[in-house]
Amino acid sequence: MFDTKRVEMEWGGRKLTLETGRIARQADAAVLAQYGETSVLATVVAEKSIRPGIDFFPLTVNYQEKTYAAGKIPGGFFKREGRPTEKETLTSRLIDRPVRPLFVEGFKNETQVVVTVLSHDMENDPDIVSMVAASAALTLSGVPFLGPIGGARVGLIDGRFVLNPMIDEMGLSDLDLVVAGTADAVMMVESEAKELPEKQMLEAVMFGHRGFQPVIQAIIDLAEKAAKDPWDFQPPDKSKYKDKVKALVEADLRKAFATPEKQKRHELVEAANAKIKEILPPDADANEEVLLGSVFKALEQDVVRGDIIKTKRRIDGRDLTTVRPIVSDVHVLPRTHGSALFTRGETQALVVATLGTGEDEQYVDALEGTRKERFMLHYNFPPFSVGETGRMGSPGRREIGHGKLAWRAVHPLMPTPEEFPYTVRVVSEITESNGSSSMATVCGTSLALMDAGVPIKRPVAGIAMGLIKEGSEFAVLSDILGDEDHLGDMDFKVAGTENGVTSLQMDIKITGITEEIMRVALDQAYAGRMHILGEMAKALSGARAELGEHAPRIETIKIPVDKIREVIGSGGSVIREIVAESGAKIDIEDDGTIKIAAAKREAIEAALGRIRAITSEPEVGTIYKGKVVKVMEFGAFVNFFGPKDGLVHISQLTQGRPETVGEVVKEGQEVYVKLLGFDDRGKVRLSMKVVDQATGKEIPRKEGEPEEEFRSERPPRREREGGDRPRRRDRG
């Protein structure tokens, strides 16, 4: 019934299996990939016809995690998977980015790649397995795909590169780098690093590229057994329009791309685009119009790319390495905890940092389990930032991806919870965009965090590099414009500090780039990053010493675990009372860590006092403020230390023994007491007479006056028992 084909190999110390022919046989291709005990199913389906008038390649990659893969049932009311998680969105992009450039130019048939995680062993991350499975399915499907590609994760543990480290090993790694590419070149890089030098980052990329070569060969071996016949696809013939378009609008395009201002340049390009419509015959259909548009775009590329290669000058007149003018402002919003406005040329990010408590931490429900995230970075790209109208809604894949890139760049610099016990949320609002708004977000985030008083280790900046490659000649561009990104061959983003790289992302639009080009791009990016850091330092060079006026204050203490129950109280009664009385927010963790947050220091001190009173023991010789809770004939009981009461004997109420206790104190009265010690039964003994009741200060002894000696002030038997009793008669 099944015509199953399979290949197996050892890869990174575990077995990788690729199988086809048993599952999802109605798809154009389906591959079941298993690495360790993590299994994914990748399917490919492409429409056999093209939608009329479509002028782009409609490729969709959907990566989805099923909770049954980890033996879990989804939370929530509906008990089924819902909208894609951040991990699913990011992995979908991770697969899409290296495969999209490898489809034959002109192929516009709607294509869908679906990757489903079927089982997860909690050791091998499904993202790399999914990339390999998708590559294998595309290679088997027969669609015009110039693959296969391979992919791998690279870690750096104890100074040694590790291929596909397991999930628990990543906590020990100084690097989390994912690289994908063909047998000859690198297509995509995504990484987070702990300030590693450029040379080491390049070595990691090439280590990963070498590491996935056996996977590419395994996919080829499977394709030799099971690949479908390749599609008979012929790209549309552009030659009938090429010369006409060039003669009609080449001069107009050269004028447009000599105009530095983005809006004016786009107006001139649109005017030239409208001009070529007269070439179309009266009976032309939508497909002919699309073909003409593709010829126009090709001419745009020729004009821009050719001029840059020949003259080493760019659209806005800059040379290859110059960064656009930068203006950095901080504390631009009065009520926020931290804010910055970072402007680089025609790209601008308004970034706001907000500090919160443990209650504000984000719960992330992943296949590996639920974890808490205390640093969040959200990126928004409204249509007005590029002078357009558009739909406003929940963040799309691009916004989630750009936000995560900036998060990776800043995350290695964030303080530990012990150094800074706050939850931090950063929001980047892109208010203008003309190239690399994600790197503007990195710069703005660094400034906003420092403005908020977050003690990041060092400022971090980012820069986007571009590439124009024609034959053997190439030019690497620093701080690319939007048009250079659109018409170029590479988007290469590097973020880091003066000490090293914290994040690197690369996307290639051609069939790959060489190690030499990457080395040039990294060196050029380092010089640009140093320049940007210098410009940022004009606004703020380090974190402010104090938090903003409106930021919450947090105090952290640690109590014995066996005292947690006492602080919480029965049904939470004690902790609710402390919160109500002090006005502070209190978070208690299982290890006894308590975070107390409030806008005012007085509220924190009040809550701290109550908690310490519950969890600590009173110290002999210390003065406490207490409240009289009961008056007896022989003295008064005072609540002075949390729930603890002690006796002030009548002889310790005031100088000279009073006739009655009631003439000195009343129930409910606040008094100052000094802890004298404990009697032979451990009962607390207090004194009021040695403390000035007006100031709470101890009354100094007069010269020659004997020091107050502690004695067991156990009251006489008749006082303990409530008065005089007749003596027992002598029995004689």
Quick check: 329 and 430 in contact, CB under 8 A? no
At 630, list the tokens: 């009961």
**On the CB side of 268, how many CA atoms lie within 13 Å of its CA?**
18
- Residue 367: which residues within 8 A CB-CB, separation 6 or more? 65, 67, 69, 70, 72, 117, 120, 122, 126
Examine the pLDDT at 707 and tell me if it is beyond 80: no
Whole-number pLDDT of residue 239: 86
Residue 669 is given by DSSP the state -
Whole-number pLDDT of residue 705: 56
What's the chain's average pLDDT?
Answer: 90
DSSP H stretches of helix in 9-157: 86-99, 126-141
Q: What CA–CA distance (Å, rounded) separates 174 from 263?
A: 43
Closest residue by Cα to residue 268 from 278, 279, 280, 255: 255
- Per CATH, is 553-615 categorized as 3.30.1370.10? yes
Domain with CATH 3.30.230.70 in the chain: 5-226, 326-537
Helix H or strand E segment including 401: helix 397-410
Tell me the CA distances in angstroms from 5 to 2, 15, 17, 213, one per residue in order: 9, 16, 11, 21
Amino acid at residue number 19: E
Name the percent of the chain lying above pLDDT 90: 63
Whole-number pLDDT of residue 702: 67
Mean pLDDT of the 11-28 span:
97
Examine the pLDDT at 618 and tell me if it is beyond 90: no
Three-class SS of residue 255?
helix
Whole-number pLDDT of residue 196: 97
Examine the pLDDT at 5 and tell me if it is beyond 70: yes
Mean pLDDT of the 82-86 span:
93
Query: What band does 11 get if pLDDT is binned at 50, 70 and 90?
Result: very high
Query: What band does 195 get if pLDDT is binned at 50, 70 and 90?
Result: very high
Q: What is the CATH number of domain 623-720?
A: 2.40.50.140
Q: What angle do CA 166, 167, 173 make, to 5 degrees?
A: 80
Examine the pLDDT at 711 and tell me if it is beyond 80: no
Helix H or strand E segment including 31: strand 29-35
Closest residue by Cα to residue 131 from 190, 66, 201, 203: 190
Quick check: 193 and 121 in contact, CB under 8 A? no
Whole-number pLDDT of residue 512: 67
How many Å is the maximal CA-CA distance in the chain?
142
CATH class, range 5-226: alpha beta
Examine the pLDDT at 102 and tell me if it is beyond 50: yes
Amino acid at residue number 324: R
Q: What CA–CA distance (Å, rounded) separates 194 from 423?
A: 21
Examine the pLDDT at 112 and tell me if it is beyond 90: yes
Examine the pLDDT at 729 and tell me if it is beyond 50: no
In tens, the pLDDT along 203-262 reads 999 999 999 999 999 999 999 999 999 999 988 888 888 999 999 999 999 999 988 888
Mean pLDDT check: name the lowest of 28-42, 174-188, 356-370, 420-434. Answer: 356-370
**pTM (2 d.p.):** 0.84
Whole-number pLDDT of residue 433: 95
- Residue 454: which residues within 8 A CB-CB, separation 6 or more? 338, 353, 355, 414, 415, 420, 422, 424, 543
Amino acid at residue number 282: P
- The CATH number for 239-311, chosen from 3.40.50.1110, 1.20.1250.20, 1.10.10.400, 3.30.70.20, is 1.10.10.400
In tens, the pLDDT along 365-390 reads 889 888 899 999 999 999 999 999 99
In tens, the pLDDT along 534-587 reads 999 999 999 999 998 888 888 888 898 988 998 998 889 889 999 998 989 998
Examine the pLDDT at 311 and tell me if it is beyond 80: yes
Closest residue by Cα to residue 136 from 226, 31, 224, 225: 31
375-380/369-373 β-pairing: unpaired
Name the percent of the chain lying above pLDDT 70: 95
Mean pLDDT check: name the lowest of 313-322, 627-636, 717-726. Answer: 717-726
Domain with CATH 2.40.50.140 in the chain: 623-720
Mean pLDDT of the 483-489 span:
87
Examine the pLDDT at 201 and tell me if it is beyond 90: yes
Mean pLDDT check: name the lowest of 188-197, 333-342, 674-683. Answer: 674-683
In tens, the pLDDT along 409-423 reads 999 999 998 899 999
Whole-number pLDDT of residue 39: 98
Examine the pLDDT at 708 and tell me if it is beyond 70: no
Quick check: 490 and 509 in contact, CB under 8 A? yes
Tell me the CA distances in angstroms from 369 to 35, 119, 358, 467, one per residue in order: 20, 14, 19, 41
In tens, the pLDDT along 641-676 reads 767 788 999 889 988 888 898 889 999 999 999 988
List the beta strands (DSSP E) in 51-184: 59-65, 111-119, 150-157, 160-163, 175-181
Query: What band does 486 get if pLDDT is binned at 50, 70 and 90?
Result: confident
Examine the pLDDT at 722 and tell me if it is beyond 60: no
Examine the pLDDT at 455 and tell me if it is beyond 60: yes
Domain with CATH 3.30.1370.10 in the chain: 553-615
Helix H or strand E segment including 294: helix 286-311
Query: What band does 601 get if pLDDT is binned at 50, 70 and 90?
Result: confident
Listing DSSP states for 424-464 in one string gives EEEEEEEEE-SS-HHHHHHHHHHHHHHHTT---SS--EEEE
Q: Does 677 or 613 have the greater pLDDT score?
A: 677
- The CATH number for 326-537, chosen from 3.40.50.10470, 3.20.20.70, 3.50.50.60, 3.30.230.70, is 3.30.230.70
Examine the pLDDT at 339 and tell me if it is beyond 60: yes
Closest residue by Cα to residue 45 from 102, 113, 99: 113
Quick check: 163 and 173 in contact, CB under 8 A? no
Domain with CATH 1.10.10.400 in the chain: 239-311
Q: What CA–CA distance (Å, rounded) separates 157 from 165?
A: 9
